[in-house]
Amino acid sequence: MAEVNNRDEANRRITVNVSDGALIPDRGETSLFSAWRISFFGAIALLIILPTVRPRPYLDIMRFLPDGILATFQVTIISIVIALAIGLITGLGRISRITVINRIATIYVEVIRGIPLLVQLFYIYFALGQLVRVPRLASAIIAMSVCYGAYMGEIFRAGLQAIPKGQMEAALALGMSRGQALRKVILPQTFRVILPPVGNEFIALLKDSSLVSIIAVSDLLRRGREFASVSFQYFETYTVVALVYLVITLFLSKIVSLIEDWAERRG
């Protein structure tokens, strides 16, 4: 009976982590025909072959998209930087011993995570737009930052709680204040712990940035829609848009993998 109970307890501790990020290359994968290599170089090959075989419309489409790609990166990078700042503050609030701060941070996380990102985009641009006119790009960045700030807050909370309590106690014993111990001891270790999930959230944010096209931000998807609406070549246009998104996300997933390797080597 004791053995059965032990097995049941072990089964309850099993967790399954699922990410909506791109395919992160397996660091132990050395095969020339790995899934990541086939996907990445296959997408690049198609982006080269299609405009070569059929310059019209594929070459025309690719000439139409660069400013949309730039807008996509602009929204993504600014949003992830702001989301990280919000996430750090929220994560610290979630583990705060001050009840009011903890409750405010928890309510923010629960409310924002309970509302779809698209609804938040509409609310900031259209609903709040009746009170304060917010530019399209600013609305997109605010919505993305606020939404992903809540998820980052949970990542920071988990990372902070993963650091052994003895680290703080040792820092205090050395004469540091709690603030100094947090800045110099706890946070540097936390950033190494949360690096993989933060990388996944960055890639997920890049993909979700396609939603900003709905409020007329000229991102990659919006530019594709504009070309398709004029040329009526929907299949060709969205094929190129999908391939460009795939190349970008897989490339960034490789960067995330390399950063993780670097962080592990740094210890």
Query: Which CATH number covers residue 222?
Result: 1.10.3720.10
pTM above 0.75, yes or no: yes
Nearest-CA neighbor of 140 among 68, 219, 203? 219
Counted domains in the chain: 1
Residues 136 and 214 sit within 8 Å (Cβ to Cβ): no
In a domain, 8, yes or no: no
* Structure confidence at residue 55 (pLDDT): 92
What confidence tens digit (pLDDT) does each residue in 146-169 have? 999 999 999 999 999 998 888 888
In a domain, 156, yes or no: yes
In a domain, 256, yes or no: yes
In a domain, 27, yes or no: no
The C-alpha atoms of residue 52 and residue 50 are separated, in whole angstroms, by: 5
In a domain, 70, yes or no: yes
* Structure confidence at residue 221 (pLDDT): 95
**C-alpha to C-alpha distances, 139 to 55, 123, 145, 212, 216, nearest whole angstrom:** 36, 9, 10, 9, 11
Residues 6+ away with beta carbon under 8 Å from 44:
247
In a domain, 74, yes or no: yes
107's enclosing H/E stretch is helix 99-113
* Structure confidence at residue 71 (pLDDT): 94
Residues of the chain with pLDDT under 70: 1-32, 267
Residues 109 and 94 sit within 8 Å (Cβ to Cβ): yes
* Structure confidence at residue 18 (pLDDT): 47
* Structure confidence at residue 1 (pLDDT): 44
Nearest-CA neighbor of 183 among 160, 204, 157? 160
* Structure confidence at residue 20 (pLDDT): 55
> 238: domain range?
35-266
The C-alpha atoms of residue 241 and residue 220 are separated, in whole angstroms, by: 7
**Token pair listed for 70:** 């730039």
* Structure confidence at residue 14 (pLDDT): 43
The C-alpha atoms of residue 65 and residue 74 are separated, in whole angstroms, by: 14
* Structure confidence at residue 24 (pLDDT): 59
In a domain, 153, yes or no: yes
In a domain, 222, yes or no: yes
